[in-house]
Amino acid sequence: MSVGQGFVLACARRVSTAGSSRGLPRLAERSTKRLISLKSLFAPPPPAGDAAARSKQRVVIKQDDLFHPLSKSPIKEMRQKGLLIQEHGCCPTCVHETLSSTGKAATREPMFECPDCGYPTHCSAEHWAADKSRHAEQCGFLRESNEDEHDLRSGRTLREFEFPSAQLPEVVVNFKSWDTFLYTRSFTNVGSARAMRHVSKVLTYPVTIGATLHQYSPFTLGAGLTPEGLKSMTALRTTIKEHELARSEKELQMQQTPLRIFILGARAEAMLPPHLYLQLSYLLPSSSMMVYFVGPESIPTADETRSTIAVSPRLALKYHKGYFHDVIWNFAPFDPFTDVFFLFSPGLGHPKGRAGWQPTIEKLLETKCPVFATGFHQADMDNDVAALTEDFGGAMDWLLKPQGNPFASLKRDFGIRNLGEWAIANWGIYGFRGKRYEVQRK
């Protein structure tokens, strides 16, 4: 998880994880009724007094005044973020100079704030000027991030977080891009690039899952999906089709086997408000689903005994704190027709994580169920794919060739220690599965 995701996680922790006992809205209400609103996550509590006074006092920052140097921000959290960068960050000019002269990197604290992006980027104005051409590559994105985070805390009504409810059955969702998806899903309040970044940051996880499983997925044969991948997806979609056919028969519904979606190494995706995953359920409205968050950081609340949240009659979230290879027997047996795994930016090839992931990958390959993983950027994804190929190449089949994810977050996150390092949640995606062996007659 990139450091820049901390804001969304902090907001998510403020949300009650209590499940809803309400069912899906009636068909006649689906086009207008909205069940989810996340705008209260980012707004400060209204002050006491009459309604007009509260309305005037609520806005902390106006829309034409979103840019502020972090040290002079009217938002306490932004000032604290600037202090963290100054304490833990580095001056890239210092690093370059010391590497060139001594072969060892040394740096002073980045106390100088770039006047263009507002972040503390260098130790002095002189070093900032010397590094200006290189810094220009990131400066625009940093300013964009500055304004986005001030906007989220500005106190305005964040109408882009008023999400649509169930899809009308006659309206087909288009998974070509965020634009077509939001349009065909009736996200009527997403009217700017900034709003798109806000919404994509939290929806990238459920929509990436839904786009992968849906019959109109953008990942098709000839567009990244391999013949083995087609076999695995056909198995899952057969189950989804059976759920659709059984919807009108109560007896058949009682016999349904729900889809099981396992998210391993869960971090940010486990901290999101539970009702946000209704957007996944709306994409597969006939299917009952259980989403399992498995990992040492997967518990969404301080109450670690609470492991299940019933979001709707067709969607339940389950949390298991621990490593998959240690708790696998809680979930066995596995069925390729109902079970699928997702690893969001796992860092399979990272030097500090590679050995820790190997026991889990071994167990995943034994299940013969499809596994889909994402990467922060091209280098991150290539590193993970190379590690998988080196460690398990002979025991796995590729289902989805590494490629860009059309439902990646549109927001670029930056590291506290090095603002030159950036990440985009779920930038790329690829899929694999344990190798299947077919018996052939001689």
Cα–Cα distances in angstroms (integers) from residue 114 to residues 68, 69, 73, 88, in the given order: 11, 8, 14, 17
* 292, β-bridge pairs: 262, 318
Lookup: tokens for 397: 């089949």
User: Is a pLDDT exceeding 70 seen at residue 436?
Assistant: yes
User: Is a pLDDT exceeding 70 seen at residue 394?
Assistant: yes
3-state secondary structure of 121: strand
User: CA-to-CA distance for 245 and 248, rounded, in angstroms?
Assistant: 7
CA 35 to chain centroid: 21
pLDDT tens digits, residue range 54-108? 444 466 789 889 999 999 999 999 999 999 999 999 999 998 888 766 766 677 8
pLDDT tens digits, residue range 97-147? 887 667 666 778 899 999 999 999 999 999 999 999 999 999 999 999 999
Q: What sections of 247-371 are H helices per DSSP?
A: 250-254, 268-271, 278-283, 324-327, 354-367
- pLDDT given at position 33: 37
User: CA-to-CA distance for 344 and 339, rounded, in angstroms?
Assistant: 17
- pLDDT given at position 250: 67
User: Is a pLDDT exceeding 90 seen at residue 315?
Assistant: yes
Measured CA angle at 408 (ends 61, 402), to 5 deg = 160
User: Is a pLDDT exceeding 80 seen at residue 174?
Assistant: yes
User: CA-to-CA distance for 77 and 11, rounded, in angstroms?
Assistant: 12
Least Cα distance to 281 among 272, 273, 289, 270 occurs for 289
Work out the burial of residue 338: count CB atoms within 10 Å of its CB; fewer than 13 is exposed, 13-18 middle, 19 or more buried: buried
Lookup: tokens for 421: 């390092």
- pLDDT given at position 301: 58
% of the chain with per-residue pLDDT over 90: 63
User: Is a pLDDT exceeding 60 seen at residue 27?
Assistant: no
Residue of higher predicted confidence among 196 and 49:
196
- pLDDT given at position 232: 95
Q: How confident is the model at residue 167 (pLDDT cuts 50, 70, 90)?
A: confident
Cα–Cα distances in angstroms (integers) from residue 185 to residues 168, 178, 260, in the given order: 9, 10, 24
3-state secondary structure of 392: helix
Lookup: tokens for 279: 């957007």
Strand locations in 60-199 (E): 112-113, 120-122, 162-163
CA dihedral 234→238→240→245, nearest 10 degrees, is 150
User: CA-to-CA distance for 337 and 339, rounded, in angstroms?
Assistant: 6
- pLDDT given at position 438: 60
pLDDT tens digits, residue range 211-221? 999 999 999 99
390-396: list long-range contacts, CB under 8 Å, 24+ apart.
391/354, 391/358, 391/361, 392/361, 392/362, 392/365, 394/435, 395/365, 395/434, 395/435, 396/365, 396/432, 396/433, 396/434, 396/435
- pLDDT given at position 212: 97
3-state secondary structure of 258: coil
Least Cα distance to 262 among 286, 298, 232 occurs for 298
> In this structure, what DSSP letter does residue 27 have?
G
Q: How confident is the model at residue 247 (pLDDT cuts 50, 70, 90)?
A: confident
The mean pLDDT of 323-342, rounded to a whole number, is: 93
User: Is a pLDDT exceeding 60 seen at residue 168?
Assistant: yes
Ramachandran angles phi, psi of 22, nearest 5° = -80, 145
What is the pTM for the complete model shown? 0.83
Among 4-18, 283-297, 372-386, 419-433, which is the least confidently predicted range?
4-18
- pLDDT given at position 298: 84
Ramachandran angles phi, psi of 297, nearest 5° = -115, 25
Ramachandran area for residue 312 (φ above 0: left; ψ -120 to 50: alpha; else beta): beta
The mean pLDDT of 395-417, rounded to a whole number, is: 94
- pLDDT given at position 437: 65
Cβ neighbours of 325 (radius 10 Å)? 16
Lookup: tokens for 291: 């989403």
Is 342 within 8 Å of 270 (Cβ atoms)? no
User: Is a pLDDT exceeding 60 seen at residue 23?
Assistant: no
DSSP per position, 177-221? SHHHHHHHTT-TT--SHHHHHHHHHHHHHHHHHHHHHSTT-S--B
- pLDDT given at position 138: 92
Q: How confident is the model at residue 407 (pLDDT cuts 50, 70, 90)?
A: very high
Q: How confident is the model at residue 47 (pLDDT cuts 50, 70, 90)?
A: low
- pLDDT given at position 306: 58
- pLDDT given at position 4: 41
- pLDDT given at position 361: 96
In the block, which residue shows the tokens 């709707």? 312
Work out the burial of residue 144: count CB atoms within 10 Å of its CB; fewer than 13 is exposed, 13-18 middle, 19 or more buried: middle
Is 268 within 8 Å of 9 (Cβ atoms)? yes
CA dihedral 140→143→144→147, nearest 10 degrees, is -160
- pLDDT given at position 299: 75
